Amino acid sequence: MAKDTQINHPMEELLKKNKISTFKKGQFIKAKIISLSKKGVMFDVGGKSPAVLGNLELSQIGSYLPYLKIGYELRVKVITEESRLGYPVVSLQKFFEKGKWEILEEKKKNEEEIEVVCGEFGKGGVFVDFMGIRGVIPKIQLIEPYFSNPEKLENQKIKVKILEADQEKNRLVVSQKAAALKISQKQLKKKFDEITEGKIYKAKVLGASEFGIFCEVEGVEGLIHISEISWEKVDDPTSYIKPGDTISVVVVEKNPEDLKLNLSLKRITPDPWEKIEEKYPKDSEIEGEVVRKERYGYFVKLEPGVEGLIHISKLKGDEKIKIGEKIKVFIERINKKSRRMSLVLPQKEKPLMYR
Protein backbone atom coordinates (compact mmCIF):
# COMPACT_ATOMS: atom_id res chain seq x y z
CA MET A 1 0.00 0.00 0.00
CA ALA A 2 1.43 3.34 -1.02
CA LYS A 3 2.32 5.81 1.70
CA ASP A 4 0.44 9.11 1.77
CA THR A 5 2.68 11.93 0.66
CA GLN A 6 1.98 15.61 1.37
CA ILE A 7 2.84 17.96 -1.45
CA ASN A 8 3.41 21.57 -0.40
CA HIS A 9 2.56 24.32 -2.80
CA PRO A 10 5.61 26.48 -3.77
CA MET A 11 3.87 29.65 -2.42
CA GLU A 12 3.33 27.96 0.93
CA GLU A 13 7.05 27.16 1.10
CA LEU A 14 7.84 30.79 0.33
CA LEU A 15 5.49 32.02 3.00
CA LYS A 16 7.06 29.68 5.55
CA LYS A 17 10.50 31.01 4.73
CA ASN A 18 9.34 34.65 4.66
CA LYS A 19 6.84 35.10 7.42
CA ILE A 20 4.81 38.20 6.78
CA SER A 21 4.80 40.65 9.67
CA THR A 22 1.43 42.03 10.62
CA PHE A 23 1.07 45.44 12.22
CA LYS A 24 -1.66 47.86 13.11
CA LYS A 25 -2.23 51.57 12.84
CA GLY A 26 -0.45 53.46 15.64
CA GLN A 27 2.03 50.64 16.28
CA PHE A 28 5.78 51.33 16.45
CA ILE A 29 7.84 48.89 14.37
CA LYS A 30 11.42 48.43 13.20
CA ALA A 31 12.10 49.55 9.66
CA LYS A 32 15.19 49.37 7.46
CA ILE A 33 15.77 52.05 4.82
CA ILE A 34 15.91 50.51 1.34
CA SER A 35 15.45 53.64 -0.78
CA LEU A 36 16.31 57.23 0.12
CA SER A 37 15.83 60.53 -1.72
CA LYS A 38 13.95 63.82 -1.48
CA LYS A 39 11.25 62.31 -3.68
CA GLY A 40 10.57 59.35 -1.43
CA VAL A 41 11.77 57.05 1.34
CA MET A 42 10.99 53.31 1.36
CA PHE A 43 11.41 50.91 4.25
CA ASP A 44 11.60 47.15 4.63
CA VAL A 45 9.17 46.43 7.46
CA GLY A 46 9.05 42.66 7.01
CA GLY A 47 5.74 42.76 5.15
CA LYS A 48 4.68 41.65 1.69
CA SER A 49 5.45 45.12 0.40
CA PRO A 50 7.74 47.95 1.52
CA ALA A 51 6.43 50.88 3.54
CA VAL A 52 6.70 54.50 2.45
CA LEU A 53 7.12 57.78 4.31
CA GLY A 54 4.05 59.99 4.37
CA ASN A 55 3.99 63.04 2.08
CA LEU A 56 3.74 65.55 4.93
CA GLU A 57 6.96 64.33 6.51
CA LEU A 58 8.67 63.83 3.18
CA SER A 59 8.94 67.62 2.93
CA GLN A 60 11.15 67.60 6.07
CA ILE A 61 13.47 64.80 5.00
CA GLY A 62 15.83 67.00 2.95
CA SER A 63 17.78 68.31 5.95
CA TYR A 64 18.22 64.77 7.28
CA LEU A 65 19.47 63.13 4.08
CA PRO A 66 23.19 63.73 4.78
CA TYR A 67 22.80 61.81 8.06
CA LEU A 68 20.72 58.84 6.85
CA LYS A 69 21.89 55.87 4.80
CA ILE A 70 20.36 52.89 3.05
CA GLY A 71 20.48 50.02 5.51
CA TYR A 72 19.83 52.17 8.60
CA GLU A 73 17.28 50.70 11.01
CA LEU A 74 14.83 53.10 12.62
CA ARG A 75 11.68 52.93 14.71
CA VAL A 76 8.70 54.14 12.72
CA LYS A 77 5.02 54.56 13.51
CA VAL A 78 2.38 52.94 11.29
CA ILE A 79 0.02 55.61 9.94
CA THR A 80 -1.89 53.47 7.44
CA GLU A 81 -1.73 49.69 7.16
CA GLU A 82 -2.34 49.83 3.42
CA SER A 83 -2.73 52.87 1.22
CA ARG A 84 -4.62 53.04 -2.08
CA LEU A 85 -1.39 52.02 -3.82
CA GLY A 86 -1.07 49.01 -1.56
CA TYR A 87 1.86 50.28 0.52
CA PRO A 88 1.86 50.78 4.29
CA VAL A 89 2.50 54.44 5.23
CA VAL A 90 4.75 55.18 8.19
CA SER A 91 5.88 58.21 10.20
CA LEU A 92 9.37 59.31 11.28
CA GLN A 93 8.07 61.83 13.79
CA LYS A 94 9.83 60.09 16.68
CA PHE A 95 13.04 60.24 14.72
CA PHE A 96 12.51 63.92 13.93
CA GLU A 97 12.06 64.55 17.68
CA LYS A 98 14.83 62.30 18.99
CA GLY A 99 16.76 60.98 16.01
CA LYS A 100 18.67 64.18 15.44
CA TRP A 101 20.12 63.84 18.94
CA GLU A 102 21.08 60.25 18.12
CA ILE A 103 22.86 61.55 15.03
CA LEU A 104 24.71 64.09 17.18
CA GLU A 105 25.71 61.45 19.72
CA GLU A 106 27.01 59.17 16.95
CA LYS A 107 28.89 62.01 15.26
CA LYS A 108 30.42 63.02 18.59
CA LYS A 109 31.44 59.43 19.35
CA ASN A 110 33.09 59.04 15.95
CA GLU A 111 34.53 62.60 16.04
CA GLU A 112 32.87 63.40 12.71
CA GLU A 113 32.02 66.86 11.45
CA ILE A 114 28.53 68.29 11.01
CA GLU A 115 27.35 71.37 9.15
CA VAL A 116 25.58 74.13 11.07
CA VAL A 117 24.06 77.48 10.21
CA CYS A 118 25.45 80.35 12.27
CA GLY A 119 23.25 82.94 13.92
CA GLU A 120 23.94 85.98 16.02
CA PHE A 121 26.88 86.43 18.39
CA GLY A 122 25.96 86.68 22.07
CA LYS A 123 27.60 86.52 25.46
CA GLY A 124 28.02 82.74 25.29
CA GLY A 125 29.43 82.71 21.76
CA VAL A 126 28.03 82.26 18.25
CA PHE A 127 24.61 80.62 18.21
CA VAL A 128 24.11 77.89 15.61
CA ASP A 129 21.28 75.75 14.24
CA PHE A 130 21.45 72.05 13.47
CA MET A 131 18.18 70.63 12.12
CA GLY A 132 16.19 72.86 14.47
CA ILE A 133 18.42 72.28 17.51
CA ARG A 134 19.97 75.48 18.81
CA GLY A 135 23.59 75.23 19.86
CA VAL A 136 26.58 77.48 20.48
CA ILE A 137 30.20 77.84 19.44
CA PRO A 138 32.04 79.35 22.43
CA LYS A 139 34.26 82.23 21.33
CA ILE A 140 37.38 80.30 22.31
CA GLN A 141 36.36 77.61 19.79
CA LEU A 142 36.49 80.01 16.82
CA ILE A 143 39.39 80.49 14.43
CA GLU A 144 40.59 83.76 12.95
CA PRO A 145 39.30 86.00 11.53
CA TYR A 146 36.12 85.03 13.38
CA PHE A 147 37.69 84.97 16.84
CA SER A 148 38.33 88.72 16.51
CA ASN A 149 35.08 89.37 14.62
CA PRO A 150 32.52 86.66 15.47
CA GLU A 151 29.72 88.76 13.97
CA LYS A 152 31.05 87.89 10.50
CA LEU A 153 29.81 84.30 10.89
CA GLU A 154 26.13 85.25 10.94
CA ASN A 155 24.10 83.33 8.29
CA GLN A 156 27.14 81.30 7.22
CA LYS A 157 27.20 77.50 6.91
CA ILE A 158 30.34 76.02 8.49
CA LYS A 159 31.76 72.64 9.48
CA VAL A 160 32.14 71.96 13.21
CA LYS A 161 32.91 69.13 15.59
CA ILE A 162 30.67 68.31 18.55
CA LEU A 163 32.00 68.97 22.05
CA GLU A 164 28.77 68.30 23.95
CA ALA A 165 25.36 66.94 22.95
CA ASP A 166 22.89 66.47 25.81
CA GLN A 167 19.24 66.00 24.90
CA GLU A 168 18.01 66.13 28.51
CA LYS A 169 19.63 69.53 29.03
CA ASN A 170 18.84 70.54 25.43
CA ARG A 171 22.49 71.55 25.19
CA LEU A 172 24.66 71.47 22.08
CA VAL A 173 28.22 72.86 22.10
CA VAL A 174 30.37 72.68 18.97
CA SER A 175 33.83 73.77 17.85
CA GLN A 176 34.90 75.40 14.60
CA LYS A 177 38.54 75.12 15.68
CA ALA A 178 38.38 71.34 16.23
CA ALA A 179 37.01 70.86 12.71
CA ALA A 180 39.37 73.30 10.99
CA LEU A 181 42.51 72.12 12.79
CA LYS A 182 41.50 68.42 12.81
CA ILE A 183 41.79 68.26 16.59
CA SER A 184 41.11 64.80 18.03
CA GLN A 185 39.14 64.71 21.28
CA LYS A 186 41.00 61.54 22.30
CA GLN A 187 44.36 63.28 21.92
CA LEU A 188 43.00 66.35 23.70
CA LYS A 189 41.76 64.17 26.60
CA LYS A 190 45.25 62.65 26.92
CA LYS A 191 46.85 66.12 27.10
CA PHE A 192 44.18 67.27 29.57
CA ASP A 193 44.81 64.31 31.89
CA GLU A 194 48.54 65.10 31.99
CA ILE A 195 47.96 68.62 33.36
CA THR A 196 48.14 69.02 37.15
CA GLU A 197 46.02 71.38 39.27
CA GLY A 198 48.07 73.86 41.31
CA LYS A 199 51.05 73.68 38.95
CA ILE A 200 52.53 76.66 37.08
CA TYR A 201 52.60 76.39 33.26
CA LYS A 202 53.51 78.58 30.32
CA ALA A 203 50.38 79.67 28.47
CA LYS A 204 49.89 81.14 25.02
CA VAL A 205 47.41 84.02 24.94
CA LEU A 206 44.71 83.50 22.31
CA GLY A 207 42.65 86.61 23.00
CA ALA A 208 40.49 88.37 25.54
CA SER A 209 36.93 89.47 26.18
CA GLU A 210 35.10 91.50 28.80
CA PHE A 211 35.11 88.54 31.21
CA GLY A 212 38.66 87.24 30.89
CA ILE A 213 41.70 86.10 28.92
CA PHE A 214 41.66 82.99 26.71
CA CYS A 215 44.81 80.88 26.82
CA GLU A 216 46.21 77.56 25.69
CA VAL A 217 48.26 75.38 28.05
CA GLU A 218 50.01 72.32 26.60
CA GLY A 219 47.44 72.31 23.78
CA VAL A 220 44.48 72.55 26.19
CA GLU A 221 42.27 75.63 26.30
CA GLY A 222 41.70 77.62 29.46
CA LEU A 223 40.31 80.87 30.78
CA ILE A 224 41.79 83.40 33.17
CA HIS A 225 38.61 84.92 34.58
CA ILE A 226 38.70 88.69 35.08
CA SER A 227 38.78 88.10 38.84
CA GLU A 228 41.95 86.00 38.46
CA ILE A 229 43.99 88.44 36.36
CA SER A 230 45.31 90.67 39.15
CA TRP A 231 44.98 91.22 42.87
CA GLU A 232 43.79 94.73 42.05
CA LYS A 233 40.47 95.55 40.36
CA VAL A 234 40.51 94.88 36.61
CA ASP A 235 38.19 96.78 34.30
CA ASP A 236 39.63 95.81 30.92
CA PRO A 237 41.35 92.41 30.47
CA THR A 238 42.67 93.44 27.03
CA SER A 239 44.91 96.06 28.66
CA TYR A 240 46.94 93.31 30.37
CA ILE A 241 47.89 91.19 27.37
CA LYS A 242 47.92 90.90 23.61
CA PRO A 243 47.28 87.79 21.48
CA GLY A 244 50.42 85.71 21.00
CA ASP A 245 51.93 86.63 24.38
CA THR A 246 53.41 83.83 26.48
CA ILE A 247 52.64 84.18 30.19
CA SER A 248 52.96 82.09 33.35
CA VAL A 249 49.70 80.85 34.87
CA VAL A 250 48.54 78.59 37.69
CA VAL A 251 46.00 75.85 36.92
CA VAL A 252 43.29 76.50 39.50
CA GLU A 253 40.78 73.88 38.35
CA LYS A 254 40.28 71.27 35.64
CA ASN A 255 36.82 70.79 34.14
CA PRO A 256 36.67 67.18 32.87
CA GLU A 257 33.22 67.62 31.30
CA ASP A 258 34.39 70.11 28.68
CA LEU A 259 38.18 69.52 28.93
CA LYS A 260 38.80 73.14 29.90
CA LEU A 261 41.10 74.77 32.46
CA ASN A 262 40.42 77.56 34.94
CA LEU A 263 43.65 79.53 35.18
CA SER A 264 45.05 82.32 37.34
CA LEU A 265 47.59 85.00 36.60
CA LYS A 266 47.43 86.75 39.96
CA ARG A 267 48.23 83.64 42.01
CA ILE A 268 51.74 83.61 40.55
CA THR A 269 52.46 86.43 43.03
CA PRO A 270 51.72 86.36 46.80
CA ASP A 271 48.33 87.53 48.02
CA PRO A 272 48.90 91.05 49.42
CA TRP A 273 46.18 90.41 52.03
CA GLU A 274 47.97 87.35 53.43
CA LYS A 275 50.00 89.42 55.97
CA ILE A 276 47.92 92.56 55.78
CA GLU A 277 47.70 93.17 59.54
CA GLU A 278 51.46 92.95 59.93
CA LYS A 279 52.10 95.34 57.06
CA TYR A 280 49.41 97.85 58.04
CA PRO A 281 49.06 97.91 61.84
CA LYS A 282 46.00 99.57 63.35
CA ASP A 283 46.37 103.36 63.81
CA SER A 284 49.44 103.52 61.57
CA GLU A 285 49.70 106.37 59.06
CA ILE A 286 50.34 105.62 55.39
CA GLU A 287 50.16 107.36 52.04
CA GLY A 288 47.78 106.17 49.35
CA GLU A 289 46.17 107.23 46.08
CA VAL A 290 42.49 108.12 45.79
CA VAL A 291 41.23 105.86 42.98
CA ARG A 292 37.45 106.29 42.95
CA LYS A 293 34.46 107.85 44.64
CA GLU A 294 31.29 105.98 45.55
CA ARG A 295 28.11 107.27 47.19
CA TYR A 296 29.32 105.82 50.51
CA GLY A 297 32.87 107.22 50.42
CA TYR A 298 36.29 107.27 48.77
CA PHE A 299 38.53 104.31 47.93
CA VAL A 300 42.26 104.73 48.50
CA LYS A 301 44.82 102.36 46.97
CA LEU A 302 47.72 101.57 49.28
CA GLU A 303 49.37 99.09 46.88
CA PRO A 304 48.23 96.90 43.97
CA GLY A 305 45.41 94.73 45.28
CA VAL A 306 44.98 96.63 48.56
CA GLU A 307 42.37 99.35 48.84
CA GLY A 308 40.74 100.93 51.85
CA LEU A 309 37.57 102.95 52.26
CA ILE A 310 37.15 106.35 53.84
CA HIS A 311 33.48 106.06 54.71
CA ILE A 312 31.32 109.13 54.19
CA SER A 313 30.43 109.05 57.90
CA LYS A 314 34.12 109.76 58.67
CA LEU A 315 34.08 112.96 56.63
CA LYS A 316 32.91 116.44 57.62
CA GLY A 317 31.74 117.25 54.13
CA ASP A 318 34.05 120.14 53.37
CA GLU A 319 37.05 118.01 52.38
CA LYS A 320 38.37 118.58 48.86
CA ILE A 321 39.42 115.07 47.82
CA LYS A 322 40.34 114.51 44.18
CA ILE A 323 40.66 111.27 42.20
CA GLY A 324 44.36 110.53 41.56
CA GLU A 325 45.46 112.60 44.56
CA LYS A 326 48.03 111.21 47.01
CA ILE A 327 46.81 111.58 50.60
CA LYS A 328 47.78 110.50 54.11
CA VAL A 329 45.37 108.17 55.92
CA PHE A 330 45.21 106.24 59.18
CA ILE A 331 44.38 102.54 59.40
CA GLU A 332 41.22 102.36 61.52
CA ARG A 333 40.15 98.74 61.08
CA ILE A 334 41.01 95.68 58.94
CA ASN A 335 38.83 92.65 58.17
CA LYS A 336 41.19 90.15 56.55
CA LYS A 337 38.45 87.60 55.84
CA SER A 338 36.26 90.01 53.86
CA ARG A 339 39.32 91.89 52.51
CA ARG A 340 38.07 95.22 53.76
CA MET A 341 39.96 98.08 55.30
CA SER A 342 38.51 101.16 57.00
CA LEU A 343 40.53 104.39 56.75
CA VAL A 344 40.27 107.83 58.30
CA LEU A 345 41.87 111.13 57.41
CA PRO A 346 44.39 112.70 59.81
CA GLN A 347 42.75 115.22 62.14
CA LYS A 348 43.83 118.79 61.41
CA GLU A 349 42.88 119.92 64.88
CA LYS A 350 43.42 118.21 68.21
CA PRO A 351 40.35 116.66 69.73
CA LEU A 352 38.60 118.73 72.43
CA MET A 353 39.98 116.55 75.24
CA TYR A 354 43.53 117.67 74.38
CA ARG A 355 42.78 121.41 74.60
d(C-alpha 177, C-alpha 183), whole Å:
8
Domain 24-91: what homologous superfamily?
A: Nucleic acid-binding proteins (2.40.50.140)
Q: What is the mean pLDDT of residues 202-213?
A: 90
Query: CA nearest 217: which of 237, 243, 191, 183?
Result: 191
Q: Is the pLDDT of residue 172 over 80?
A: yes
Report the chain's mean pLDDT, rounded to a whole number.
86
What pLDDT, on a 0 to 100 scale, did the predictor assign at position 59?
A: 78
In degrees and rounded to multiples of 5, residue 209 shows phi and psi of -140, -175
CATH assignment, 111-180: 2.40.50.140
* Burial class of residue 18 (count of CB atoms within 10 Å of its CB; 0-12, 13-18, 19+): exposed
Q: Kindly report, residue by residue over 301-321, the tens digit of the pLDDT.
A: 999 999 999 999 999 888 889
pTM, to two decimals = 0.61
CATH placement of domain 185-268: 2.40.50.140
Per-residue model confidence as pLDDT tens digits over 232-278: 889 899 888 888 899 999 999 999 888 899 999 999 999 999 999 99
Identical fold, 111-180 and 185-268: yes
Residue spans of the domains in the chain: they are: 24-91, 111-180, 185-268, 277-352
Comparison of pLDDT for 127 and 82, the residue scoring more:
127
CA distance 215 to 243: 9
Best CA proximity match to 165, nearest among 111, 242, 245, 218: 111
The CATH label, of 2.40.50.100, 3.90.1150.10, 2.40.30.30, 2.40.50.140, for the domain at 277-352 is 2.40.50.140
| Percent helix, percent strand, percent coil in the chain, to nearest 5 | 20, 40, 40
Backbone CA torsion sign across 224, 229, 233, 237:
negative
Per DSSP, the three-state class of 306 is strand
Largest CA distance in the chain: 149
